[in-house]
Amino acid sequence: MTTYALRSASPAKTRADAVVVGVLRGPSGPTLAPGGDEVASAYGRRLAPLLATLGVTGKAGEVVKLPTSKTISSPVLLLAGLGDEVTPGTARRAAGVAARAATNAASVALALPADSAALVRAVTEGWALGGYTFTSYKRQPDGERTDRAGEVVVLSPLARKKDVVAAFEEAQVVSAAVAQARDWVNTPPNDLRPPSFADAVVEARRGHGRSRGAGSLKVEVLDEKRLAELGCGGILSVGRSSDAPPRLVRLDYEPKGAVAHLALVGKGITFDSGGLSIKPAAGMKEMKSDMAGAAAVVAATFAIADLGLPVRLTTYASLAENMVSGDASRPGDVVTMYGGTTVEILNTDAEGRMVLGDALVMAQEAEPDVVLDVATLTGHMVMALGDRVAGVLGDEKVVADVLAASEAAGEEHWPMPIPAMMEERIRSSKIADLAQHDWIRWGGGLYAAAFLREFTGGLPWAHLDIAGPAFNSGGPWGQVTSGGTGFAVATLVEYARSLATR
């Protein structure tokens, strides 16, 4: 357990096992960033040659550790590169890198730039997220010790300001939620199947029993029998392929005095083999992450309740495993979705839209003001935007609001269109209302969004395709660790906050 404190103490006089300062890459060499001024004065004229000898440049991602030999009160100084400017983004990244470099320090003081609420938030989140580890399946952590500091002090000249304290607290709640989502995504797919994932959500709800909004937070799990009674043909069409039956998890957060009502829907494919339209082996190896959308909406719901935001939430996590079996769906099958729309399945690997369709219709029944769905939906989006940026599609206003929220949350999103021609493509089935897929290679991410829109009942809506950024198959960078990233949690919380303060 790490405890966090916010203080306006001097970094040069703070006693901690290590002090972290930022370094800016300046035109005339690296300089210590705001927050590190007193450390810079303690070193005086020795600083510039020291940085030069250490090879410090200040570029983003750089981190250098040095003994201070009593120049300041702490024995170790960590220099974290910020690049060319101080922004919440560069501060978050530097804090994340520093967190991984500061192993074996029991206490750490962060003297990174923190002279605004946004920077305090970024530094706190960056540290918490960059230091995330997932070790439940290791007999013993290998290599270097991965112990994290038990005591973290964030230094800010504004430590007493109300909005800064609030940002600091929100950062801790959001980081914990992101870590929860990462844990679920990282859990191997033999241990996280729809029933056990649903159980884990119920269990997590208990863990939030004492939070601010807990009294108004309810969870309900619909099992395969109930889904059949309700006619959830989409979820069942995917779930029938697996021995582990599907689940639809519903969370309701109804705070007193809610000023808006938001519905969240997440794709929760606990493993995506592609089904009979089976994936090649290389395309399957990370498909335990295909439930990242569900993990994000659930974790964000808990965080929003923890913060007590006055926004009513109706959240659906649609859980199924996409496998092959003697009873799996076939290309050519026609199923009736919840609400009655018929869909011709043409590629069992386009399963996300099937599980989301039912849940979107159900979300409509709660009459929310706005609907967001989050899904690792298409490889097309990864092709278009790479693995660090999510695509956002839907109503112009909702998309703009999501983009604004994602900016504040430090997660990159980019708007993508739903071209008019997609209307024809999704209706190209000769025998059903909608074609789930049309085997035209181009624009598959946009097709998928047009398909989902059919299930939104004309409510204000946006779709976040997080197929790229949900899982980091490479090494850690900044606050983003390897494996599940918890992407979209921070954006969803920020979006809810923007609804609350509108």
Annotated binding site: 267, 272, 290, 349, 351
* Coil/strand/helix, residue 192: coil
Regarding 272 and contact with Mn ion (CB under 5 A), the answer is: yes
Regarding 352 and contact with ligand BES (CB under 6 A), the answer is: yes
* Dist. CA 290–CA 131, nearest whole Å: 24
Contact 446, 361 (CB under 8 A): no
Name the closest residue to ligand BES (Cβ): 379
* Coil/strand/helix, residue 319: strand
Which CB atom, from 313 or from 464, has the smaller least distance to ligand BES? 464
Residues 357 to 416 in contact with Mn ion, rule: CB under 5 A:
none
For residue 14, the partner it binds in Mn ion, ligand BES, Zn ion, none, with Cβ less than 5 to 8 A by kind, is: none
For residue 411, the partner it binds in Mn ion, Zn ion, ligand BES, none, with Cβ less than 5 to 8 A by kind, is: none
Q: Which two tokens stand for residue 178?
A: 């992101």
Which CB atom, from 154 or from 355, has the smaller least distance to ligand BES? 355
CA-wise closest residue to 39 among 17, 19, 15, 67: 19
CA-wise closest residue to 119 among 148, 82, 152: 82
Count of residues near ligand BES by CB under 6 A: 16
Helices 396-409 and 489-500, packing angle to 10 deg: 110
Least distance from C-beta 452 to ligand BES, angstroms?
A: 13
Regarding 359 and contact with ligand BES (CB under 6 A), the answer is: no
CA-wise closest residue to 492 among 131, 256, 186, 180: 180
279 is catalytic: yes
* Dist. CA 110–CA 152, nearest whole Å: 7
Regarding 467 and contact with ligand BES (CB under 6 A), the answer is: yes
CA-wise closest residue to 354 among 181, 468, 232: 232
* Dist. CA 238–CA 272, nearest whole Å: 10
Burial of 387: CB neighbours in 10 Å, binned 0-12, 13-18, 19+: middle
Residues 424 to 463 in contact with Zn ion, rule: CB under 5 A:
none
Helices and strands counted in the chain (H then E): 16, 20
Which CB atom, from 103 or from 473, has the smaller least distance to Mn ion? 473
Which CB atom, from 352 or from 368, has the smaller least distance to Zn ion? 352
* Dist. CA 221–CA 273, nearest whole Å: 24
* CA angle, residues 88, 374, 263, in degrees to nearest 5: 100
Residue located via tokens 């960056």:
126
Least distance from C-beta 322 to Zn ion, angstroms?
A: 6
312 is catalytic: no
CA-wise closest residue to 375 among 312, 303, 466: 466
Of 126-134, 177-185, 323-331, 349-357: span binding Zn ion (CB under 5 A): 349-357
Regarding 391 and contact with ligand BES (CB under 6 A), the answer is: no
Regarding 308 and contact with ligand BES (CB under 6 A), the answer is: no
Question: How far is CA 69 from its chain centroid?
Answer: 41
Regarding 494 and contact with ligand BES (CB under 6 A), the answer is: no
Regarding 224 and contact with ligand BES (CB under 6 A), the answer is: no
Q: What's the full length of the chain, in residues?
A: 502
Regarding 349 and contact with Mn ion (CB under 5 A), the answer is: yes
Regarding 351 and contact with ligand BES (CB under 6 A), the answer is: yes
For the chain, what percentages of helix, strand and coil (3-state, to nearest 5) are there? 40, 20, 40
Regarding 444 and contact with ligand BES (CB under 6 A), the answer is: yes
Annotated binding-site ranges for Mn(2+) = 267, 272, 290, 349, 351
Least distance from C-beta 467 to Zn ion, angstroms?
A: 8
Q: Which of 161, 212, 240, 279 is catalytic?
A: 279
Q: Which two tokens stand for residue 70?
A: 């009593």
Which CB atom, from 54 or from 440, has the smaller least distance to Mn ion? 440
Regarding 438 and contact with ligand BES (CB under 6 A), the answer is: no
Question: What's the one-letter identity of residue 67?
Answer: P
* Dist. CA 376–CA 464, nearest whole Å: 8
Which CB atom, from 88 or from 352, has the smaller least distance to ligand BES? 352
Which CB atom, from 155 or from 467, has the smaller least distance to ligand BES? 467
Contact 270, 192 (CB under 8 A): yes
Least distance from C-beta 426 to Mn ion, angstroms?
A: 17
* Dist. CA 133–CA 124, nearest whole Å: 16
Of 72-80, 342-350, 393-401, 487-495: span binding ligand BES (CB under 6 A): 342-350
Count of residues near Zn ion by CB under 5 A: 4
Binding test (CB under 5 A) with Zn ion, winner from 62, 272, 465, 494: 272
Regarding 125 and contact with Mn ion (CB under 5 A), the answer is: no
Burial of 328: CB neighbours in 10 Å, binned 0-12, 13-18, 19+: buried
Binding test (CB under 5 A) with Zn ion, winner from 290, 306, 321, 358: 290
Regarding 373 and contact with Zn ion (CB under 5 A), the answer is: no
Which CB atom, from 304 or from 346, has the smaller least distance to Mn ion? 346
Q: Which of 182, 353, 425, 497 is catalytic?
A: 353
Contact positions vs Mn ion (CB under 5 A):
272, 349
Contact positions vs ligand BES (CB under 6 A):
272, 290, 347, 349-352, 376-380, 382, 437, 444, 467
Active site residues per annotation: 279, 353
Contact positions vs Zn ion (CB under 5 A):
269, 272, 290, 352
